Structure 1
Amino acid sequence: MIDDVVEHQIRRHIEFPGIGDHPDLGITQTIARSESSGLTELLQHPSITGKTKNWTTTYKKYPTSSFYDGANYNTGTTEARVGYESTIGGLSRSFFRLAWTSSIKGATVTEADLRLYETYSWSCSAREMRVWRTGGISSSTTWNNQPSWTKEIGRKSFANGWSSSCPDAYVVYDGKSVAQDAADGGWTNFTIGLRASTEDSSYSWKKFKAEGESAPKIVITYNRKPAEPTKLDIPPGTCWSLAAIPLMTGTPDVKATATWGGSATTVIGGGWENKMALG
């Protein structure tokens, strides 16, 4: 279905050759679309994916140690840790920098799914974890040097990865708010932080895939307000005159070129219905 904003723009600007809106004759013009028409689908609500570019886990037990991109954790790791692990008495929080290449500045975000792949939980008993937007991370990020916890994105209870009763699985948070912040600010990356809501319980212990295709990502679906349409035209049909005013009969085509997101698309309304009422 063509975007309502584009339809409004075309409806507002199109004029019949030689007529226009003529209040004295009580002429009204309505360009209505037909669901069965072959009208070009213009706005597809595209999406972009912000993928993990860098990540780190911080450990309270090792307050000055950096585990940036999994380094220094034994021989290295590809899993991020969150919560309290009672075996070693370690409390952890993890951070991910998500980035994309194309700016969505000025766009309206219609949906954004923040996807995390959990590979381990302490049991199949769900426990709550919170996701925040944070400040940036680097190889200097440690427990004693954590980024700012700027804005909470959401909280959710879940447990995956303990056994076949609750196997590894994706967990999805609503990231629409932070994605809109990115669009408003013209960002092409931001950092998220994961922390357990109850940091003194071993049941809060979780692991997440931190590298590869299953690493955290945000899928952002967005839209942009199109520019006013140009090249508005109604290909000629049969005309006749009433008091020297040319009128068009039949069912003409309507076409216009709408520019959206830097791309121009010609909308051809072969199935559009033109209704004229003479008062």
Structure 2
Amino acid sequence: MPTPRSLTGRRRSRPLYPLLACGLIGGLAAPAAWAASPGTQTGPAGASVSEQRLPGPSAPRGRVGLWTSVNDSTPNRVYWGRTGDVARVGKRALRTDPALNGVWRSFLTMGTGDLHRRGTIREARLLIQNTWSQSCAPYNIEMWDTGRIYKSTTWKSQPRWYNWLDTRHPGPSDVCPSRTLSFNVTASARAAQRNKWPSMTLGLKASNESHPNAYKNFAPSTATLRVTWS
């Protein structure tokens, strides 16, 4: 029997982007994008590695991407498919474009069908590119296991933030603003495998949501779920 969580935050449903075993696997996608093609890697000490990556914006149209952002200054506004390839995180406060100001959080949904295969997940990491930052100061970004998102998701109706997974320092200023952050999401991936969830949703938010210098943009099209198997 599925756990109570799988009937709420992890409700069973057919994922738009099923995973493909041992390779690049569609699950998270940019607006109107299709799944990626497969590929394989070899991890440390002979461990196998599989990756799930977000197809780029030039992929054929036909499906809605499973990610969105929310903003506290417009708590009832839907941003699903309306922010291009930009997932916003943290407090934004610019005089040049006040319509986008406010505290932002973003959510990414990854298909997890491939995780149901037999095997032990040694580690799972979510890699995503930070494409712009208000400041190169060392403000941290948090990754959380959250409930699922919908086309109607807003700040007021955002999913529940279940468990903290990882906090990453954005790195030295010499690679600011374009750098890839790697978050440990092993606990969420193992839960998806154990409970046979068809997908998992991960939330990004700034550790400091009161200071504008913590604001950052991320590119969902670069998101990759990298799983290492024992």
TM-score of the two chains, using structure 1 as the length reference: 0.56
**Aligned partner letter, 1:208:** F
Matches within 5 A, 1:11-160: 44-52=46-54, 53-69=65-81, 71=82, 76-87=83-94, 88=98, 89-158=101-170
Partner of 1:200: 210
Q: Summarize the Cα distance change of 1:190–1:167 in structure 2 as closer, same or farther, 3 Å threshold.
A: same
**Aligned partner letter, 2:138:** A
Separation of aligned partners in 2, 1:182 and 1:141: 22
Q: Summarize the Cα distance change of 1:185–1:128 in structure 2 as closer, same or farther, 3 Å threshold.
A: same
Q: Percent identity?
A: 26
- In structure 2, the residue corresponding to 1:179 is in which secondary structure? helix
* Unmatched tracts of structure 2, length 5 or more: 1-44, 55-64
- In structure 2, the residue corresponding to 1:177 is in which secondary structure? helix
Separation of aligned partners in 1, 2:201 and 2:225: 11
Q: 2:225 aligns with which of 201, 218, 230?
A: 218
Partner of 2:37: none
Matches within 5 A, 1:165-180: 166-180=176-190
1:163-217 residue CA offsets vs partner (Å, 9 max, x unmatched):
8652411111112222211221123320000111111101110000022xx1x22
Structure 1 residue 45: Cα displacement: 3.3
Q: Is the contact made by 1:105 and 1:186 (CA closer than 8 Å) also made in structure 2?
A: no
Q: Summarize the Cα distance change of 1:155–1:188 in structure 2 as closer, same or farther, 3 Å threshold.
A: same
TM-score of the two chains, using structure 2 as the length reference: 0.68
* Unmatched tracts of structure 1, length 5 or more: 1-42, 224-279
Root-mean-square deviation over aligned CA pairs: 2.2
- In structure 2, the residue corresponding to 1:82 is in which secondary structure? strand
1:227-266 residue CA offsets vs partner (Å, 9 max, x unmatched):
xxxxxxxxxxxxxxxxxxxxxxxxxxxxxxxxxxxxxxxx
Structure 1 residue 90: Cα displacement: 1.2
Q: Whose strand fraction is larger, Structure 1's or Structure 2's?
A: 1
Separation of aligned partners in 2, 1:125 and 1:151: 26
Q: Is the contact made by 2:142 and 2:205 (CA closer than 8 Å) also made in structure 1?
A: yes
Structure with the greater alpha carbon radius of gyration: 1
